[in-house]
Amino acid sequence: MDGWSARWVGQFNFDSGTYFFRERADDGVRVYLNQTLVIDAWRDGYSDNTNRFIGVGRGRHTVTVEYYDRSGQAFVQAWWFRDTTSPGVAP
């Protein structure tokens, strides 16, 4: 089936620090932390993006993933992980 879209919203506990947000998708995807856009790949075709987000505060945060499939293959992956290679920035 082609020409569909979806939106996933979840709340997750974060430790304070710097995080990498990643996505892989075919076609468009946007990833938000709370209401801040951290990845914007809203276009047709394959994408594989990473964005570093500095100073995420400790506690519960909302992550939203928006996706659309134009045609052909349809897949989306979105994830995040804390940067343990450099000192975090405390909020």
Q: Which amino acid is at 50?
A: T
Domain boundaries, the chain: 4-82
pLDDT digits (tens, 9 = 90+) for 8-18: 999 999 999 99
CATH of domain 4-82: 2.60.120.260
* Euclidean distance between CA atoms 88 and 16, whole angstroms: 7
DSSP helix/strand/coil, 31: strand
Q: What angle do CA 79, 74, 48 make, to 5 degrees?
A: 40
Write the pLDDT tens digit of every residue in 20-78.
999 999 999 999 999 999 999 999 999 999 999 999 999 999 999 999 999 988 999 99
Which residue(s) pair with 57 in the sheet? none
